[in-house]
Chain A
């Protein structure tokens, strides 16, 4: 079974190698960049830039990413369950598999309802 992952390894090596090779090629084949601090600074139509270029990011991005992680973990638990459900519960008759997964999903459904009602899933302020 491990041998089946060798193509994945080859793919990674080719992808990384391609990226590294093109970067090295551009360094070797291209001209040396003539940089100075004035040329590197931000262009504001002739005005000197004031303050930071970075705008304040809204915290909604963090909220969305965090909720994604939490429900992704739920899916991670459900994936092995889905693979083994037929073998265990349908053919094998072990109902604990069904009820434990049901209770897990219900708990996370409550979490979803809570986040929904508290407006965590709304994007507009």
Chain B
């Protein structure tokens, strides 16, 4: 089963690299969808079925559609012809390489995976994970859910004010 992990992880990474290196914005968006597919499969492998399914439904389904609508509003020719200078490429390589080195060093000194996290208590242990998440969301974590409601409300107001052609 672990060979599947390597395949999906490679898919996610290749998709990510494709997002960055593609000239055409539409190709970048499709590479991102491939990366999300790999991520969703990784979530399923971790037994997080709801999160994996929502990754496809919401991220690849709704958010990438939004991205593509925005790309539709851009001028593709000028985006394809965009050049990056030497300094910014060098800076990107240095930052990414530095981050990689730091994470590698931290993982070397840290025995991850040896400790198991405490399993979910209570009824959540016997039901499906969707039901368990529903229980946690609306009993223990009910207050953050209301703040998220406020966040979505503010986003709606922002969308209407910033992108309607004429306001009412």
Contact = CB atoms under 8 A, between A and B. Distances in A.
**A/B contact in complex, CB under 8 angstroms:** yes
Given A5-B44, A65-B65, A83-B131, A111 B139 contact: no
Contacts, number: 147
A49 to B, nearest CB: 14
B152 A80 contact: no
Interface of B: 4, 37, 41, 44-45, 47, 49-50, 54, 57-58, 61-63, 65-66, 69-70, 72-73, 75-77, 123, 127-128, 130-135, 137-139, 142, 145-146, 148-150, 152-153, 155-157, 159-160, 163-165, 167-168
A115 B156 contact: yes
Interface of A: 1-2, 5, 9, 12, 52, 54, 57-63, 65-70, 72-74, 76-77, 79-85, 87-88, 94, 96-97, 100-101, 103-104, 107-108, 110-112, 114-115, 117-120, 125
A94 B134 contact: no
Interface of B is mostly: helix
A63 B161 CA distance: 10
B149 A88 contact: no
B152 A74 contact: yes
Interface of A is mostly: helix
A120 B165 contact: no
B33 to A, nearest CB: 12
Contacts of A85: 134
Contact of A119 (B45, B159, B164): B164
B130 A97 contact: no
Nearest to B158: A66
B70 A108 contact: no
Contacts of A82: 134
Q: Give 3 nearest A-B pairs by CB, closest first.
A: A80-B134, A84-B134, A107-B149
Centre residue among A77, A82, A94, A115 by max chain B CB count within 10 A: A77
A9 B145 CA distance: 33
